[in-house]
Amino acid sequence: MSKILEGLKYSESHEWVKVEGDIAVVGVSDFAQKEMGDITYVDLPEADDEVTAGEEFGALESVKASSDLISPVSGTVVEVNADLEDAPEKVNEDAYGSWIIKVKMSDPSELDALLDAAGYKALIGE
Amino acid sequence: MKYYDKLIFELSKEGRVGYSLPVNQFPQAPEVPVQLRRAQPLRLPQVSEPDVVRHYTNLSQMNFGVDTGFYPLGSCTMKYNPKINEEMAALPGFAGLHPLMHAGLTKGALKVYQEMNKALSAITGMYAFTFDPCAGAHGELTGLMIMRQYHMNRGDMKRTKVIVPDSAHGTNPASAAVCGLEVVEVKSLENGRIDVEALKPLLTDEIAGIMMTNPNTLGLFETEIKTIAKLVHDAGGLLYYDGANMNPLMGVVRPGDMGFDIMHLNLHKTFSTPHGGGGPGSGPVGVAQHLEDCLPDIRVSGFHGNFGVILRAYAYILSLGKQHLRKVGQYSVLSANYIKESLKDVYKLPIEGVCKHEFVFDGLVNDGAHDDVPGATTLDVAKRLLDYGFHAPTIYFPLLFHQALMIEPTETESLETIDSFIAVMRKIAAEAAQDPEILRQAPHNAPITRPDETLAARNPVLKYEW
Amino acid sequence: MLEKIGVKKLEDLYSDVPAEFLKKGAYALPDALSEQQIRDYFASLEAMNAKLKVFVGAGAYDHYTPAVIPYITSRSEFLTAYTPYQCEISQGTLRYIFEYQSLMCELTSLDVSNASMYDGPTAAAEAMKMAVACARKKNRVLLSCALLPHVIKVVETYAKFHGVAIGYVPAPDGQTSLEALKAELAQDDVAGVIVPSVNRYGIIEDHTGFADAIHAEKGLLVEYCDPSALAVVKTPGEWGADIAVGDGQSLGLPLCYGGPYVGFMTVKKEHMRKMPGRIVGQTVDKQGRRAFVLTLQAREQHIKREKATSNICSNESLMALWVTVYLSLMGPEGLKEVNRISSDGAHYLYSELLKTGQFEEVFPDKPFLKEFVLKPKKFPGLMQQRLEKAGFFAALDTEEGYVSFCVTEKRTKEEIDLLVKTVKEG
């Protein structure tokens, strides 16, 4: 069983969002990290990059796969989790403790289109 | 094969040399000015000739080649590499030719290119070939450049998309991207062939063409090729043929006759030149007559392509001649179907029917999974094959099946070799049903056991530190 | 076999092919030859080629190939293997590639090497693409006009289709102009700059200030090098370059009418993930023993498909082994000696040719190694014919109207004296 945290928003492409004012903190779900297996690299954007809801902003890599990270919201990247550059395994160890980017949202109403914990649980069917 | 742990740097001893150079007869030239001189010490190995020979001989003994044993690596056409080809390519009158010598000095080399052009055109039904590309993917890129050039020459600048089937080799979409083309994927039907109905709506006036291989990566002949060719041509696009799978068509079917406008061949696959641990290859590109004008605009490598590889392929073609070409295609297809039919009760065959030079299983029928014991995967089968002295098939490709195991025997294997491979594959299937752990721990008697690939990717060590 | 498959004859295996596509009639191919006939025929082809002493470089250098190299590279375990997909039975290939990567990093003073590319010009084209990928928003790459002509042509071809704008930095006095470079950089659209370490005139270039100027505009400096010369000339790493590319042919590969050669690429560590091609890395097996694998594969076409850093799959692996064995045999002293003899021979030829009175110096103050250009005082056609007749391939015409010469350690004083005598007789 994958861990799903209450109080977070989830995308269908398995990113989670924690809302802190007009900032969206984005990571990937426990389900996603399990599907990937051992993550060997997190391809991060740079601060000040623009991201768009539904479009890729980076990627998770394992030995034999690469999976795009899809932004759940639109806005400007204000911070990236540089710890993951040297320690991608943190995403495997604690998917919810390992945020990937923080986005200053340009359109917070996009959050309404995301799933809540129950909806996400139904999506992954566990 | 035994484990040998040295790297050449670890044999180095100060002052030891492995070279023999003439005595310098010339007056001393001015030194390189100090601001242009290498400042760092040059740390190369200092080893004797015997050290070098033993070291690389030991390394070679941890390797498996076609000359070691059966190598049924799907889509790679690991046929036997005739030795006369090696001898011909090493002749000093070829090996000593400078690439910038004018035509009057290189008549023999130019004749090889002319004769190869004729021979490959005859075999494929194309009009003319360029020999500049150095590998299959390089040929794809060149072919796509020709495709774009054709549209540009007509002033049709909006054709910037290319259709690629979902089962295609990874190089197809990658080559398209390098060529500045956007990839549009067309889905396969359940029988593994291109979905013609799904293709139709994709054929807009922005489509430069379609990349196909026929037989496709499942080893299946695209039976609707005539319809596909007409649809694409009617929409103003061109058909590109990925020659990676040309082997079964040798002497039987020609891509040019099926309506393809551009194609590449892999001389290191279909034309028996050795794969060299991953190259050098050669990927000549053929075009139909209406595209001949587009060839001269494309310069994709330094000189004349991999001439040494082209020489080998020419020797191969001469040894086959018109008398034996057909046997290449027919026997490669015969061997593949025979293996498929002999193993389909123990390995899942997702698509029934006659295949061409290769086919794909989707893992074991009985992988041995029970209670808490996980079953054996395709990876485990592949690793277990190494224990029995066979190279593994291509695994986890194409992506259409989760446990893909792609087998291509080629025409150069005897019935005895093929039967022993079948026996081992059956034995492995029986082992999996009994005790999948045997497979999961394999290989047991290779030079190394399974390496930690995650460690390699997380903490890259990419050169020797000394 | 047919019975097992359930068909009656071989032709039935093609029953799924529409009948109209089955080739009717014989193929327009020659008759099959026996091995003896092939040998005789190739001997006749070989005899049609001129056998000349090579005094030309221009991107393909006639250095000596030690006997050990073809002996090792023709071992079937290396020769008849493919890409090391099954690492447990490919440790031989993986280890020599790791050694090759280490050696190329050492020669260029950079951090990471890939497993090889097709040739020097395509490696330069890949560097051009990489510069654009790293810069993200900038889309112009500058080429020095002193790069070898075939390098410029291939990069231009790739750029045209990949959608990269190309600019040029002139080299009016035989050396890429820093002033002209700065003017181009000021346009604020330059992703990278490719300059030759030793250029098309054989001149050792001075790149003082290049890296600073380029990095100030957030571009990448790419050095195109003759790796043999890096034993003695300032390295890409020392010039502050981000990427080094070039052709490994000068490390003992036969001329072979232009191929197979081997492109190389080394980069600074921070650009590792944007590098094209295969890379071998060190790890351990289950028993903790040192082992080697293909790594960082998520960059590559078989995983990333159209988003891969390049489409390259097969490279020039066997030629990388060739280079590795060459560098092992030569060692630091051997490679320096190759440069010393070649350079001494070239300078001797240069001064002897000037003495004939038939040439003018073009770049009298510029330092060179084994290769140089001169301006012939009269049309060189007849002289070139005489040289060919005397057994020399020399005095190659350049685009600028010069003639180019090259001397390697294979050339003797007797040969040079005869060449000069042949020139004089005109």
Query: pLDDT for B170-181, tens place per residue?
Result: 999 999 999 999
pLDDT tens for A77-120 read: 999 999 999 899 999 999 999 999 999 999 999 999 999 999 99
B65: in domain? no
Is C16 exposed, middle or buried, given 0-12, 13-18 or 19+ CB atoms closer than 10 A?
middle
Smallest CA–CA separation between A112 and chain B, in Å? 31
CATH 3.40.640.10 fits C68-326, yes or no: yes
CATH of the domain at B246: 3.40.640.10
Is the torsion defined by CA of B449, B455, B456, B461 positive or negative?
Answer: negative
CA distance A87 to C165: 37
Contact A38/B396, CB-based, under 8 Å?
Answer: no
What integer pLDDT is reported at residue C364 of this predicted model? 96
Residue closest to A100 by CA, chosen among A64, A50, A63, A47: A47
CA distance C419 to C75: 39
pLDDT at C188 over 80: yes
Contact B60/C75, CB-based, under 8 Å?
Answer: yes
What integer pLDDT is reported at residue B180 of this predicted model? 96
Q: Chain B window 29-88: which residues touch C at a Cβ cutoff of 8 Å?
A: 29-30, 32-33, 35-47, 49, 52-53, 55-57, 59-68, 71, 73, 76, 78, 81, 84, 86-88
C267: its two tokens: 């980069």
Count of structural domains within chain B: 3
pLDDT tens for B407-466 read: 999 999 999 999 999 999 999 999 999 999 999 999 999 999 999 999 999 999 999 998
Listed by start position, the domains of chain C span: 2-39, 53-65+332-424, 68-326
What integer pLDDT is reported at residue B417 of this predicted model? 98
Smallest CA–CA separation between A124 and chain B, in Å? 19
Contact A63/C304, CB-based, under 8 Å?
Answer: no
What mean pLDDT do residues C140-148 have? 98
Give strand ranges (E) for C312-387. 359-361, 371-376
Residues B341 and B316 in one domain: no
What mean pLDDT do residues C212-236 have? 98
For domain C53-65+332-424, the CATH architecture is: Alpha-Beta Complex (3.90)
Residues B116 and B164 in one domain: yes
Q: Chain A window 63-102: which residues touch B at a Cβ cutoff of 8 Å?
A: 63-64, 88-89
What integer pLDDT is reported at residue B27 of this predicted model? 97
Tell me, what's the ipTM?
0.98
pLDDT at C102 over 80: yes
The angle formed by the CA atoms of residues A40, A43 and A45, to the nearest 5 degrees, is 160
Q: Confidence band (pLDDT; 50, 70, 90) for C82?
A: very high
B171: in domain? yes
Contact C21/B281, CB-based, under 8 Å?
Answer: no
Asked if C218 contacts C187 with a C-beta cutoff of 8 angstroms, the reply is no
Interface test with C, best of B9, B56, B214 (most C CBs within 10 A): B56
CA distance C227 to C401: 27
Contact C23/B254, CB-based, under 8 Å?
Answer: yes
Residues B312 and B343 in one domain: no
Average pLDDT, chain B: 96
Q: Confidence band (pLDDT; 50, 70, 90) for B31?
A: very high
% of chain A at pLDDT higher than 90: 93
Residues of C contacting chain A (CB within 8 angstroms): 273, 296-298, 303-304, 307
pLDDT at A126 over 80: no
Residues B235 and B351 in one domain: no
Residues B443 and B306 in one domain: no
Asked if A5 contacts A96 with a C-beta cutoff of 8 angstroms, the reply is yes
What integer pLDDT is reported at residue B26 of this predicted model? 98
Q: Confidence band (pLDDT; 50, 70, 90) for C78?
A: very high
**Residues of chain A positioned with their CB less than 8 A from the CB of B454:** 38, 40, 62-63
CB-based contact (8 Å) between B94 and chain C? yes
Smallest CA–CA separation between A57 and chain B, in Å? 19
**Residues of chain B positioned with their CB less than 8 A from the CB of C76:** 65-68
Asked if B397 contacts B360 with a C-beta cutoff of 8 angstroms, the reply is no
Residue closest to C131 by CA, chosen among C72, C86, C192: C192
Q: Confidence band (pLDDT; 50, 70, 90) for B353?
A: very high
CA distance C423 to C382: 10
Residues B343 and B308 in one domain: no
**Residues of chain B positioned with their CB less than 8 A from the CB of C316:** 134, 276, 279-280
pLDDT tens for B194-211 read: 999 999 999 999 999 999
Interface test with B, best of A33, A35, A38 (most B CBs within 10 A): A38
- For chain B, give the number of residues: 466
Secondary structure element (H or E) that encloses residue B316, with its range: helix B307-343
What integer pLDDT is reported at residue C137 of this predicted model? 87
Give strand ranges (E) for C197-322. 220-225, 243-247, 263-267, 280-284, 290-294
% of chain C at pLDDT higher than 70: 100
Residue closest to C204 by CA, chosen among C167, C244, C232: C232
Residue with tokens 């790293």: C134
Contact B277/C95, CB-based, under 8 Å?
Answer: no
CB-based contact (8 Å) between B380 and chain C? no
B461: in domain? no
Domain, as residue range, for B100 = 83-320
What integer pLDDT is reported at residue B192 of this predicted model? 84
What integer pLDDT is reported at residue B56 of this predicted model? 98
B60: in domain? no
pLDDT tens for C363-384 read: 999 999 999 999 999 999 999 9
Residues B204 and B96 in one domain: yes
CA distance B434 to B447: 26
pLDDT tens for C14-26 read: 999 999 999 999 9
What integer pLDDT is reported at residue A64 of this predicted model? 86
3-state secondary structure of C78: helix
Residues B31 and B93 in one domain: no
Residues B285 and B337 in one domain: no
B71: in domain? no
Interface test with A, best of C272, C297, C299, C305 (most A CBs within 10 A): C297
User: For helices C317-355 and B49-60, what crossing angle results, to 10°?
Assistant: 150
CA distance C337 to C331: 10
C68-326 and C53-65+332-424 share a CATH fold: no
Average pLDDT, chain C: 97
End-to-end CA distance of chain A: 6
Among the partner residues C273, C303, C307, nearest to A64 by beta-carbon distance = C303
| Predicted TM-score (pTM) of this structure | 0.97
Radius of gyration of chain B (CA): 25
C268: its two tokens: 């600074």
Smallest CA–CA separation between A38 and chain C, in Å? 13
CB-based contact (8 Å) between A61 and chain B? yes
Contact C81/B175, CB-based, under 8 Å?
Answer: no
pLDDT at C224 over 80: yes
Which residue on chain B is closest to C228 by alpha carbon? B42
Interface test with C, best of B331, B448, B455 (most C CBs within 10 A): B448
Q: Confidence band (pLDDT; 50, 70, 90) for C303?
A: confident
What integer pLDDT is reported at residue C3 of this predicted model? 96
What integer pLDDT is reported at residue B191 of this predicted model? 83
What integer pLDDT is reported at residue B167 of this predicted model? 87
Report how far apart, in Å, the C-alpha atoms of C319 and of each of B63, C115, C253, C254 are.
17, 10, 8, 10
Among the partner residues B396, B453, B458, nearest to A89 by beta-carbon distance = B458
Interface test with A, best of C283, C303, C309 (most A CBs within 10 A): C303
Strand pairing category for B207-212 and B161-165: parallel
Residues B195 and B233 in one domain: yes
pLDDT tens for C20-53 read: 999 999 999 999 999 999 999 999 999 999 999 9
% of chain C at pLDDT higher than 90: 96
**Residues of chain C positioned with their CB less than 8 A from the CB of A43:** 273
Q: Confidence band (pLDDT; 50, 70, 90) for B68?
A: very high
Residue with tokens 């649980």: A121
Residues B349 and B300 in one domain: no
Contact B38/C337, CB-based, under 8 Å?
Answer: no
Half-sphere exposure of C143 (CA within 13 A, CB side): 24
**Residues of chain A positioned with their CB less than 8 A from the CB of B458:** 38, 40-41, 88-89
CA distance B263 to B244: 10
- For residue B41, cis peptide bond before it (omega within 30 degrees of 0): no
What integer pLDDT is reported at residue C47 of this predicted model? 97
Asked if C114 contacts C265 with a C-beta cutoff of 8 angstroms, the reply is yes
pLDDT tens for C285-299 read: 999 999 999 999 989
Q: Is B110 left (phi over 0), alpha (psi -120 to 50) or beta?
A: alpha
Lowest mean pLDDT among A58-72, C113-127, C184-198: A58-72
Contact A40/B396, CB-based, under 8 Å?
Answer: no
Contact C297/A64, CB-based, under 8 Å?
Answer: yes
Smallest CA–CA separation between A34 and chain B, in Å? 15
What integer pLDDT is reported at residue B466 of this predicted model? 85
Residues B198 and B237 in one domain: yes
* Total Cβ atoms within 10 A of residue C209: 13
3-state secondary structure of B458: helix
Select from B258, B288, B320 the last residue of a domain. B320
Residue closest to B350 by CA, chosen among B365, B332, B335: B365
Among the partner residues B137, B392, B456, nearest to C311 by beta-carbon distance = B137
What mean pLDDT do residues B340-348 have? 98
Which residue on chain B is closest to A90 by alpha carbon? B458
pLDDT tens for B372-408 read: 899 999 999 999 999 999 999 999 998 889 999 999 9
